[in-house]
Amino acid sequence: MTSEVFAAIDVGSYEMSLKIFELSMKNGVRELDHVRHRMDIGSETYATGRISSYHVDEMIRILSEYKKIMKEYGVTHYQAYGTSAIRETKDIAIVRDLIENRTGIHIDVLSNSEQRFIDYKSIALKYDQFEEIISKPTAIADIGGGSIQISLFEKDTLVVTQNLMTGVLRLHTTMEQVHASRLKYAELVTELINSRLSVFSKMHLKDKKVENLIIIDDYVSPVLQKVGLGTEREGYATSEEYRKFFKKAYKKSDLEVAKKLNIPEENVPLFHVAGVLVKCILDVTKAENLWAPGITLCDGIAYEYAEKKNYIKSPHDFEQDIIACAQNISKRYMGSRSRRETLQKIALTIFDSTKKLHGLKDRERLLLQIATILHDCGKYISLVYLGDCSYNIIMSTEIIGLSHVERAIVANVVRFNHEKFEYYSSDCRFFDGLSREDYLTIAKLTAIIRAANGLDRTHKQKFKDVTAQLQERELVINVDTTADITLEKGLFTNRAEFFEEVFGVKPVIRQKKMLL
Partner 1 sequence: MTKDKTSVKTGVNVESSKYYTNRELSWIQFNERVLSEAEDEANPLLERVKFLSISASNLDEFFMVRVASLKDMINAGYKKPDIAGMTASKQLQAVLKKLHDFTENQYAVYNDRLLPLLEENGINICDIAELGGKELDFAERYFDEVVFPVLTPMAVDTSRPFPLIRNKTLNIGALLKKKEGNDDVDFATVQVPDVLPRLLHIPGSEENKYGKYIFLENLIMHNVDKLYLNYDVIASAPYRVERNADLSIDEDEAEDLLKEIEKQIKKRQWGQAIRLEVSTGMDEKLLKLIAEKLDVEDNEIFSVNGPLDLTFLMKLYKIEGFDHLKEHGYKPPSAVPAFIGEKNIFHVISKGDVLMHHPYQTFENVVKFVEEAAVDPGVLAIKQTLYRVSGNSPIIAALAKAADNGKQVTVLVELKARFDEENNIVWAKMLEKAGCHVIYGLVGLKTHCKITLVVRKEEDGIKRYVHLATGNYNDSTAKQYTDIGIFTCAPAFGEDATAVFNMLSGYSEPLGWNKLSLAPLWLKDRIIDLIRREKEHALKNEPARIVAKMNAICHKEVITELYLASCAGVKIDLIVRGICCLKTGIKDVSENITVRSIVGNFLEHSRIFCFENGGNREIYASSADWMPRNLERRVEILFPIENDELKKKVWHILDLELRDTEKAHIMNDKGEYVKPVISEDEEKINSQKILCDEAYEEARTFNDRNTRIFIPETNPNIKA
The answer to whether the CB of 248 falls within 8 A of the CB of 227 is no
Helix, strand, coil share of the chain (percent; to 5): 55, 20, 30
Site for partner 1 contains 226 (CB under 8 A) = yes
Site for partner 1 contains 3 (CB under 8 A) = yes
CB nearer partner 1, residue 39 or residue 440: 39
Pick one of 8, 9, 36, 423: the residue that binds partner 1 (CB under 8 A).
Answer: 36
CB nearer partner 1, residue 64 or residue 336: 64
Name the minimum Å distance from CB 128 to partner 1. 22
Q: Are strands 212-216 and 138-143 parallel, antiparallel or unpaired?
A: parallel
CB nearer partner 1, residue 72 or residue 191: 72
Site for partner 1 contains 256 (CB under 8 A) = no
Name the minimum Å distance from CB 326 to partner 1. 36
Q: Cβ contacts of residue 160 below 8 Å, gap of 6+?
A: 151, 152, 204, 325, 328
Stretch that binds partner 1, among 122-130, 220-228, 454-462, 481-489 (CB under 8 A): 220-228
Hey, which residues between 452 and 491 contact partner 1 (CB under 8 A)? none
Site for partner 1 contains 355 (CB under 8 A) = no
Pick one of 38, 209, 363, 512: the residue that binds partner 1 (CB under 8 A).
Answer: 38
Q: Cβ contacts of residue 392 below 8 Å, gap of 6+?
A: 378
Hey, which residues between 270 and 329 contact partner 1 (CB under 8 A)? 294
Name the minimum Å distance from CB 71 to partner 1. 5
CB nearer partner 1, residue 125 or residue 400: 125
Stretch that binds partner 1, among 18-26, 277-285, 366-374, 401-409 (CB under 8 A): 18-26
Site for partner 1 contains 126 (CB under 8 A) = no
Give, for 151, the enclosing helix (H) or strand (E): strand 148-154
CB nearer partner 1, residue 22 or residue 114: 22
CB nearer partner 1, residue 221 or residue 390: 221
Pick one of 157, 190, 194, 225: the residue that binds partner 1 (CB under 8 A).
Answer: 225
Pick one of 30, 87, 252, 339: the residue that binds partner 1 (CB under 8 A).
Answer: 30
Distance (Å, whole) CA 285 – CA 139: 8
> What is the Cα 271 distance to its own chain's centre?
25
CB nearer partner 1, residue 12 or residue 507: 12
Q: What is the DSSP letter of 126?
A: G
Stretch that binds partner 1, among 34-42, 49-57, 80-88, 452-460 (CB under 8 A): 34-42
Stretch that binds partner 1, among 23-31, 243-251, 299-307, 498-506 (CB under 8 A): 23-31
Residues composing the chain: 516
Reduced 3-state DSSP string for 339-388: HHHHHHHHHHHHHHHCHHHHCCCHHHHHHHHHHHHCCCHHHHCCCCCHHH
Stretch that binds partner 1, among 29-37, 275-283, 438-446, 500-508 (CB under 8 A): 29-37
Site for partner 1 contains 136 (CB under 8 A) = no
- The candidate with the shortest Cα–Cα distance to 147, out of 158, 162, 133, 128, is 162
Stretch that binds partner 1, among 221-229, 274-282, 329-337, 362-370 (CB under 8 A): 221-229
The answer to whether the CB of 447 falls within 8 A of the CB of 413 is no
- SS3 category, 77: strand
Distance (Å, whole) CA 159 – CA 177: 36
Residue 277, classified by CB atoms within 10 Å of its CB into exposed (0-12), middle (13-18) or buried (19+), is buried
Q: Cβ contacts of residue 49 below 8 Å, gap of 6+?
A: 88, 89, 90
Q: With contacts defined by CB under 8 A, how many residues of the chain interact with partner 1?
A: 28
Distance (Å, whole) CA 80 – CA 407: 22
Q: What is the DSSP letter of 111?
A: P
Report long-range pairs for 376-385 (Cβ below 8 Å, ≥24 apart).
376/335, 376/336, 376/339, 376/340, 377/329, 377/330, 377/333, 377/335, 377/414, 378/333, 378/414, 378/418, 379/333, 379/334, 380/333, 380/334
Stretch that binds partner 1, among 256-264, 351-359, 387-395, 506-514 (CB under 8 A): 256-264
Name the minimum Å distance from CB 415 to partner 1. 47
Pick one of 8, 13, 22, 105: the residue that binds partner 1 (CB under 8 A).
Answer: 22
Name the minimum Å distance from CB 187 to partner 1. 30
Binding mask 71-110 for partner 1 (x = CB under 8 A): xxxx------------------------------------
The answer to whether the CB of 37 falls within 8 A of the CB of 17 is yes
Site for partner 1 contains 202 (CB under 8 A) = no
Give, for 305, the enclosing helix (H) or strand (E): helix 297-308
Site for partner 1 contains 27 (CB under 8 A) = yes
Reduced 3-state DSSP string for 249-290: HHHCCHHHHHHHHCCCHHHHHHHHHHHHHHHHHHHHHCCCEE
Stretch that binds partner 1, among 63-71, 127-135, 412-420, 487-495 (CB under 8 A): 63-71
User: For binding to partner 1 (CB under 8 A), which residues are involved?
Assistant: 3, 5, 15, 22, 24, 26-27, 30, 32-38, 65, 68, 71-74, 222, 225-226, 259, 262, 264, 294
